[in-house]
């Protein structure tokens, strides 16, 4: 009788593991995947672009349908099936089948937990109002899109309030500005994109305002009040008057959806995320975890961290699936590389910010340079700013941030590669990067930043 693998979660970390396990064990492994929603393997990162109109339909965000997994991978995908409890001793999962209104116990030999993240939704008065939306799942997206495209609502005449100034808040603000809505972003931090240094975040805030977005920093939402006229009053700790909204979108970040694992007795770590080893094994034999519900290892600081990114979820899921299938794979960790945009403005980061460098105990130099995305004389060239951090003792590049127009942000990948390879700023200056006037100046902005960092290290007596 074949072993049974039960996968909890039908998105990136769950289905990538299930697919890898099937490839390595085509005949002797039964695979059951439980998904409490209505879709599998979809891009939640694409939701803002669906709302903004860049993506034509919700189905375009689905990489593989449940039926594809059933037919091509022989995976028993069970939609609207929510895992309610795990019994490690009995090796069972309690499943609530919402489709048929029943509960049953599902046995497993191997378990993979990929329950993802939950949106931060503090218990504020009125937060469950009908016009207050999250953007975590495709079910959320369908609900929000229905509101945006409703014939009863003209979004161009609507007032939209977005709570949160992180990646999702920024991307949703762009979506609604493009729709023509009166858009306000409320964030409790001193500037948008708090994972970036203040000097970069301030530029993002300026760009948001230049695009007609009202940005209210250092404000915490305290209450949502329904008026009965399809208007929600958003109260903040700044006092009256409240902000009037026809639609509220919550973009307050996410946390690990690890309660199921914690209640089963599995070890947890940073922010309550599931603890795993390099092979994505949890503290219980035969139980794996991957994605937004579990921890990662920060290759720069050496610490266990919680990083909720789709790129990480896919890689961790693949590692788990290879190991479940009898192979050997490890996940080496993350360096926090991320990118986003606001209309024409692109923003990216990798490694540590100055605040994170201080928290980790680094002594470092930080340099900032201004350049252009193409040769200065070439039509269409745009400004770009690169900030780079290097450790004083070793000279290693430990972080960078980039802000600029088209062609700016993806340059962060060069620096991410250098950090992963353990390169020093001086070594980076010799990188043989491509050059042609339509693509870059003869000294690429990344190389200019590395050169300035190497000079700063020399001035500090560390090079």
Q: Which residues are catalytic?
A: 45
Sequence length of the chain is 463
CB 141 within 8 A of CB 58: yes
CB 51 within 8 A of CB 113: no
Tokens of 359: 């928290």
Phi, psi of 127 (to 5 degrees): -70, -15
| Sequence-ordered strand ranges (E) for 27-119 | 29-35, 75-79, 81-87, 92-97, 102-107, 110-113, 117-119
| Ordered alpha helix ranges (H), 301-411 | 310-324, 354-360
CB 108 within 8 A of CB 92: yes
Task: Tell me whether residue 443 is exposed, middle or buried, using C-beta atoms within 10 angstroms of its C-beta: 0 to 12, 13 to 18, 19 or more.
Answer: middle
CB 440 within 8 A of CB 373: yes
**345 three-class SS:** strand
Task: Tell me whether residue 142 is exposed, middle or buried, using C-beta atoms within 10 angstroms of its C-beta: 0 to 12, 13 to 18, 19 or more.
Answer: middle
Report the alpha-carbon distance of residue 284 to residue 110 in Å, rounded. 10
Return the axis-axis angle of helices 412-420 and 445-459, rounded to nearest 10°.
50
Phi, psi of 317 (to 5 degrees): -60, -40
Report the alpha-carbon distance of residue 204 to residue 215 in Å, rounded. 10
Tokens of 96: 């609530």
Sheet with 81-87, strands from edge to edge, namely 81-87, 92-97, 102-107
Tokens of 204: 């993002």
Tokens of 86: 């795990």
Sign of the alpha-carbon torsion through 419, 340, 255, 65: negative
């Amino acid at each position: 009788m074949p072993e049974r693998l039960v996968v909890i979660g039908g998105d990136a970390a769950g289905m990538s593991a299930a697919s890898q396990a099937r490839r390595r064990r085509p005949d002797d492994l039964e695979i059951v995947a439980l998904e409490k929603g209505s879709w599998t393997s979809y891009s939640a990162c694409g939701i803002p672009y669906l709302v903004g109109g860049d993506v034509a339909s919700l189905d375009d965000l689905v990489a593989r349908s449940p039926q594809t997994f059933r037919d091509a991978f022989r995976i028993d995908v069970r939609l609207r099936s929510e895992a309610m409890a795990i019994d490690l001793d009995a090796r069972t999962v309690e499943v609530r089948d919402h489709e048929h209104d029943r509960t049953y116990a599902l046995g497993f030999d191997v378990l993979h937990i990929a329950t993802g993240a939950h949106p931060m939704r503090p218990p504020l008065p009125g937060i469950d109002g009908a016009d207050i939306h999250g953007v975590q799942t495709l079910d959320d997206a369908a609900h929000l899109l229905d509101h945006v495209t409703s014939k009863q609502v003209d979004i161009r005449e609507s007032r939209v309030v977005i709570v949160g100034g992180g990646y999702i808040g920024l991307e949703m603000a762009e979506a609604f500005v493009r729709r023509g809505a009166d858009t306000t972003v409320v964030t409790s931090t001193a500037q948008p994109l708090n994972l970036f240094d203040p000097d970069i975040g301030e530029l993002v805030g300026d760009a948001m305002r230049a695009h007609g977005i009202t940005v209210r920093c250092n404000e915490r939402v305290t209450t949502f009040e329904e008026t009965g006229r399809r208007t929600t009053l958003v109260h903040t700790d700044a006092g009256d008057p409240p902000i009037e909204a026809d639609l509220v979108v919550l973009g307050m970040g996410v946390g690990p959806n690890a309660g199921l694992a914690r209640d089963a007795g599995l070890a947890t770590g940073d922010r309550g995320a599931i603890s795993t080893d390099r092979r994505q094994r949890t503290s219980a034999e035969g139980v794996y975890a991957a994605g937004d519900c579990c921890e990662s290892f920060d290759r720069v600081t050496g610490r266990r961290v919680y990083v909720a990114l789709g790129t990480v979820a896919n890689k961790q899921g693949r590692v788990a699936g290879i190991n479940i299938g009898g192979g050997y794979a490890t996940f080496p960790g993350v360096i926090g590389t991320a990118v986003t945009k606001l209309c024409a403005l692109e923003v990216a980061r990798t490694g540590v910010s100055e605040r994170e460098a201080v928290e980790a105990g680094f002594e470092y130099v930080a340099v900032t340079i201004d350049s252009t995305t193409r040769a200065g004389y070439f039509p269409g060239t745009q400004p770009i700013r690169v900030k780079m951090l290097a450790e004083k003792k070793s000279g290693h590049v430990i972080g960078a941030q980039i802000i600029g127009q088209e062609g700016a942000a993806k340059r962060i990948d060069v620096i991410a590669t250098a950090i992963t390879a353990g390169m020093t700023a001086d070594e980076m200056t010799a990188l043989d990067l491509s050059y042609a006037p339509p693509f870059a100046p003869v000294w690429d902005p990344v190389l200019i930043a590395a050169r300035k960092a190497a000079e700063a290290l020399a001035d500090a007596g560390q090079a």
